[in-house]
């Protein structure tokens, strides 16, 4: 998601109509918001081993 915001910032330092800021950055942000974040929220993480032994 940070990559999407960095790509949006490209438009600040270059021309305002830079293709990275207009096309690529919104696509990256949509993918992050619709796929990566829900996956992170819904993934079931295994609990840590509580036996106290390390192998």
State the pTM of this model: 0.61
pLDDT at 15: 72
Q: Of all residues in the chain, what percent carry a pLDDT higher than 70? A: 85
Domain ranges of the chain: 2-41
In Å, how far are 16, 35, 41 from 38, measured between CA atoms?
Answer: 31, 6, 5
DSSP-assigned letters across all residues of 23-45 = IIHHHHHHHIIIIIHHHHHH--P
Pick the more confident residue, 26 or 16: 26
Q: What is the pLDDT of residue 51?
A: 65
CA atoms within 13 A on the CB side of 35: 7
């Amino acid at each position: 998601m940070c990559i999407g915001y960095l790509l949006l910032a490209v438009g600040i330092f270059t021309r305002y109509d830079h293709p990275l800021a207009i096309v690529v950055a919104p696509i990256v942000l949509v993918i992050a918001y619709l796929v990566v974040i829900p996956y992170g929220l819904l993934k079931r993480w295994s609990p840590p081993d509580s036996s106290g032994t390390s192998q």
